[in-house]
Amino acid sequence: MDIELLGIDAFPDAPEVAETETSFAGNALLKARAIAEATGLPAVADDSGLCVDALNGMPGILSARWAGGHGDDDANLDLVLAQISDVPDRRRTASFQCAAAVALPDGTERVVEGSVEGRLLRERLGTQGFGYDPIFVPLGYEITTAQMTAEEKDAISHRGRALRSLAPVLAQLLS
């Protein structure tokens, strides 16, 4: 596709969109709709998080603010570790989930999803990545996503999978 990609910073008057929906797809659509409406251009947005099986899928959509404030990665990670401290290793399963949405100014919308399954360690390993990466080991790997290079992580990540799935949708909608 011959398109120009612009980040949200190219639109200083773009609204800050509250994530008030109850799903990753709902939050991604909220953001994409708001930006498409504000700019008059097609917009892509995503929402993602960690879903821990032993916590009934939480922190889920609350992943970035699990410990209270938004974006306190250390506090969020520490809280998850504390909450599953008594969970046996065989039950420390989790997944990273991502929904990516596109919204066009004419009201057309599409959502795709991507995920990566794995398990959670009892302590941090690695310094790359962010959030829960230091305790997440993807299935088929023996290292955390925080120990992977950016290229290795991008190849398997939930966000990468969702955005790669969105590419043909964008090609169809924008052709």
Cα 18 to Cα 21, 22, 30, 78, 116: the distances in Å are 9, 12, 8, 25, 26
Q: Using one digit for the tens of pLDDT, what is the confidence trace for 130-155?
A: 899 999 999 999 999 999 999 999 99
Q: What is the pLDDT of residue 175?
A: 84
Please say if 46 is a catalytic residue. no
Would you place residue 1 in the very low, low, confident or very high pLDDT band (cuts 50, 70, 90)? Answer: low
| Residue tagged active-site, from 2, 47, 53, 133 | 47
Total domain count, the chain: 1
Kindly state whether residue 2 falls inside one of the protein's structural domains. Answer: no
Q: What DSSP designation does 14 have?
A: P
Kindly state whether residue 155 falls inside one of the protein's structural domains. Answer: yes
Kindly state whether residue 120 falls inside one of the protein's structural domains. Answer: yes
Kindly state whether residue 56 falls inside one of the protein's structural domains. Answer: yes
Percent of the chain whose predicted confidence (pLDDT) is above 90: 90
The 10 Å Cβ neighbour count of residue 168 is: 10
Q: Domain of residue 142: give its range.
A: 8-174
pLDDT, mean of residues 65-69? 88
Kindly state whether residue 115 falls inside one of the protein's structural domains. Answer: yes
H or E stretch covering 131: none
| pLDDT(46) > 80 | yes
| pLDDT(45) > 90 | yes
